[in-house]
Structure 1
Amino acid sequence: MGALLIILLIIFVLLCMGIRIVPQGYVFVVENLGKYHATLQAGFHVIIPFIQRVAKRVSLKEQVADFPPQGVITKDNVIMQIDTVVYFKVADPKLYAYGAERPILALENLTATTLRNLVGELELDQTLTSRDNINSKMRVILDEATDPWGIKVGRVELKNIIPPEEIQRSMEKQMKAERDRRETLLEAEGHKQASITRAEGDKQALVLKAEAERDAAIARATGQAESIRLVYEAEAKGIEMLKEANMDERVLLIKKLEALEKMGDGRATKIVVPTDLATAAADLTFKTEMLGFGNNTPIDTKAVKPAKAKAEDPCCIDDDKGATTQHFAKGEHVDFQA
C-alpha cells in the first residue's frame, strides 16, 4: 500500500512538471531530446518531463528596438550621429529560435551597416531632407535580410540626425539669415499692401468727391433751370394777362419809360435807347408842350452869344509872325471868289 502511494505521488509530480500554460501573444518552442519537436500556441499543454523541454519563449507582439546613435559619413565627408528605431515582430518562431544566435544584435548591426551605405550616397543637405526616402529603403532592405531569421520588419525611423557642432552653428546662422529674409519680405509685402490699400482709399475718396460734385452741379443746374423756367412762365402768364386785359399802347409806353428810367439811374456807362422808344418820348414831350404841362419858356434866337476868348498861339507871338501870317491871323483876308 505504501509503495502504491509512492508511485502515485511520483506520477502526480511528473504530470505537474509536464504542464505548460502558454499566455496569449506568446508561443513556446519545444524540443524532444534536443531536437525541434513543436511550437505550442496559447493555451494548456502537457509535455513529457526529462524528454521534452521548452527551448524558447517567443513573443508574437510587435516590438520596438531603439538602437544607439551610429557614426556615419556623408558623400561630402561630413561625420554625424544617427540613431534609428526599428519596429518588428516575429513571423516564424522556429526560424527566430534557430535562424540566428542573437537576432536582435544581428538586426542592430544590419541596421547600422545599411544606414551607412544609404547615407554614404547622399550629401548633408540631402540627408537632412530625405528622411522618408531613407526610411523606406531601409525597411525594404532589412525586411528582406531578416526573413531567414523569422523576423518581419514593419517600420524603420531615423530618430535623430546630429551633425557636428561647426555644421550646427553654420546651420543656425543660415536659419537666422533665412528668418531675417522672410521677415524683410513680410514687412515689404505689408508696406506694399498698405500702400495699395491707401491708394485704393484715396481713389475711392476722389471718385466719391467727384460724384458728389457732379450731383451737386446737376442739382444746381436743375434748380437754376427750374427757376428760369418759372420766371419765364411767370412772364408769359403776365403777358397773357396783359393781353386778356386789353392793354393799350399808352400803358405800354409808360412801362417802357419806367424801364428807361431804371436804365438811366447812373450805374450804367452806356445806355442804348430803342428807336421806337426815343420817338415815343419825343412825341410825348411834344404833346405835353402842346397841352401846357412842359417848360414853355421861349428861346431867344437873336441873342448875341458871348465871344470866346482868343486862344494864344503856342507857336509864337504876333510880333514874331510875318506880314502874310499876321494878315490871315487878323481876319483881314478877303475871299475874292465870294
Structure 2
Amino acid sequence: MVGGIILGVIVLFIILLLLSSIRIVRQAEVYLVERLGKFHRELDSGIHILLPFIERISAKKNLREQVVDFPPQPVITKDNVTIQVDAIVYFQVTDPIRHEYEIANPIGAINNLTATTLRNLIGELELDQTLTSRDTVNSKLRVVLDEATDKWGMKVNRVELKNIIPPSDIQQAMERQMQAERTRRQQVLQAQGEKEAKILKAEGEKQSKILEAEGERLSQIERAKGEKESRILKAEGEASAILKIAESKSLGEKMILDVWKENNPTQAMIQLRSMEALVKVADGKSSKLVIPTDATKLLGMVESIKEVVRSDQKEE
C-alpha cells in the first residue's frame, strides 16, 4: 500500500517535471537558454524541451519594434533659454544575446544617452532654430543613438521630438507675436481682396463702355443705312414722277394734235381730252405726281398746236 503511494508520487513528480520542461515560443520571440549558468542556445518560435535541473530560460526577447516615451528633459539652448524636451524612440532588438549580456538596463541606457545627445544638439541651436529644426534634430539624434546601441544588439529606427516647451513668459511673447502675424496677414489678404475687387470693377466698367460704344456705332451704321435707302427711294419716286409727267405731256400733245386733225375740236373738247390724259397718268404706280397749277399754260399750248395744224392744212 505504502509502496504504491510512493510509486504514484514518483510518477506524478516525473510528469510534472516533464511538463515544466516543455516550452512553447511564440512568433517574433526568442528565448535564451543557460546550461549550468552559462549561455547555451536560443529557442526560436515553436515547441522545445529543456533538461530538468540543468537548463533554464534566462531571458525572453521580443524581436518586434518597440516604442519608449521618455519624460521631458531640461535642455539649455545656445541663447541660454531652458526648455523642456521629451522624445519618443522606436527601436528593435537585432541580437538577443548581446542585448542580454552586453547591457544590464538597455532602456535606462537609451534614456540617458538620449538626454545627453539632446543637450549637445540643442545647445548648438538658438530657441527659434530649435522650434523650426525638429527634423534636423531627429535625424542627428537617431544616428547617434543607432551607433551607440549597435553594440547592445539594438537598432534605433526612428526618433521623434514629441514636445518642445519653452518657459511661460517666452510662450506668451511667442503667442503675442503669432497673433500680430495673423493680424498682419489678415490685413494683407483684405487689402489684396479690395484691390482685386477694384480691378474687377474697373474692368467691368471698361468692358461695359466698350460694349456701349460698339452698340452706338452699330446703331449709327443702321440709321445711316436706313436714311440712305430712304433717300434712294425718294429720289427714285421723284424721278418716276418726272418721267410720268413728261409722258403725260407728250401723250396730251399727241392726243390734241390727232383730235384737231380729225375733227377740228372746239376749245372745250380739247380741255376735256387733256383732263382725261391726266387721269390716265394718275392711274400709274408712281408714288408722287406733280400737276401743273397754271391751266392757262395748257390752253396756250393748245392754241399753238391749232396754229401749226392750220398751217399744215393750207400748205396741202
Counterpart Cα distance in 1 of 2:35 and 2:119: 43
Aligned to 1:291: none
How far 1:205 moved relative to its partner?
1.3
- For this pair of structures, how many residues does the alignment match? 257
Which deviates further from its counterpart, 239-248 or 110-119?
239-248
The amino acid that maps onto 2:247 is: E
* SS at 2:223 equivalent: helix
Select 1:239's aligned residue among 235, 242, 245: 242
Asked if 1:229 is matched to 2:232, the reply is yes
TM-score if structure 2 supplies the norm length? Answer: 0.76
Aligned to 2:25: 22
Aligned to 2:122: 119
* SS at 1:104 equivalent: helix
User: How large is the Cα RMSD of the aligned pairs?
Assistant: 2.4
Deviation digits for residues 170-222 of structure 1 (CA, Å, limit 9, x no counterpart): 11111011111111111101100110111011111111111121111111111
The amino acid that maps onto 1:37 is: H
Counterpart Cα distance in 2 of 1:94 and 1:256: 138
* SS at 1:245 equivalent: helix
Asked if 1:34 is matched to 2:34, the reply is no
* SS at 1:77 equivalent: coil
Counterpart Cα distance in 2 of 1:243 and 1:257: 12
How far 1:165 moved relative to its partner?
1.0
Following superposition, which runs of at least 4 residues in structure 1 exceed 2 angstroms of deviation?
Answer: 1-14, 242-249, 255-259
Which deviates further from its counterpart, 181-190 or 216-225?
216-225
Structure 1 residue runs of 5 or longer lacking an equivalent are 260-280, 285-338
Instruction: Name the larger-Rg structure.
Output: 1
How far 1:257 moved relative to its partner?
8.7
Correspondence list, 1:163-312, <5 A:
163-247=166-250
* SS at 1:86 equivalent: strand
Aligned to 1:62: 65
Counterpart Cα distance in 2 of 1:232 and 1:67: 108
Deviation digits for residues 300-323 of structure 1 (CA, Å, limit 9, x no counterpart): xxxxxxxxxxxxxxxxxxxxxxxx
Aligned to 1:80: 83
The amino acid that maps onto 2:82 is: I
Select 2:141's aligned residue among 138, 143, 151: 138
When residues 103 and 220 of structure 1 are mapped into structure 2, their CA distance, relative to the original with a 3 A threshold, is same
Counterpart Cα distance in 2 of 1:193 and 1:13: 88
How far 1:244 moved relative to its partner?
2.7
> Kindly, what percent of the aligned residue pairs are identical?
55
Select 2:152's aligned residue among 136, 149, 156: 149
TM-score if structure 1 supplies the norm length? Answer: 0.71
* SS at 1:84 equivalent: strand
How far 1:229 moved relative to its partner?
0.8
Counterpart Cα distance in 1 of 2:293 and 2:92: 126
How far 1:161 moved relative to its partner?
0.7
* SS at 1:146 equivalent: helix
How far 1:17 moved relative to its partner?
2.6
The amino acid that maps onto 1:111 is: T
Counterpart Cα distance in 2 of 1:69 and 1:5: 61
The amino acid that maps onto 2:186 is: E
How far 1:10 moved relative to its partner?
4.1
Aligned to 2:307: none
Deviation digits for residues 116-149 of structure 1 (CA, Å, limit 9, x no counterpart): 1111111111111111111111111111110111
Aligned to 1:268: none
Which deviates further from its counterpart, 164-173 or 16-25?
16-25
The amino acid that maps onto 1:64 is: V
Counterpart Cα distance in 2 of 1:148 and 1:212: 88
Counterpart Cα distance in 2 of 1:234 and 1:121: 105
When residues 187 and 258 of structure 1 are mapped into structure 2, their CA distance, relative to the original with a 3 A threshold, is farther
The amino acid that maps onto 2:242 is: I
Aligned to 2:14: 11
* SS at 2:209 equivalent: helix
Counterpart Cα distance in 1 of 2:16 and 2:180: 78
Counterpart Cα distance in 2 of 1:186 and 1:6: 90
Asked if 1:98 is matched to 2:101, the reply is yes
Structure 2 residue runs of 5 or longer lacking an equivalent are 254-273, 275-289, 301-316
How far 1:6 moved relative to its partner?
5.5
Asked if 1:47 is matched to 2:62, the reply is no
* SS at 1:75 equivalent: coil
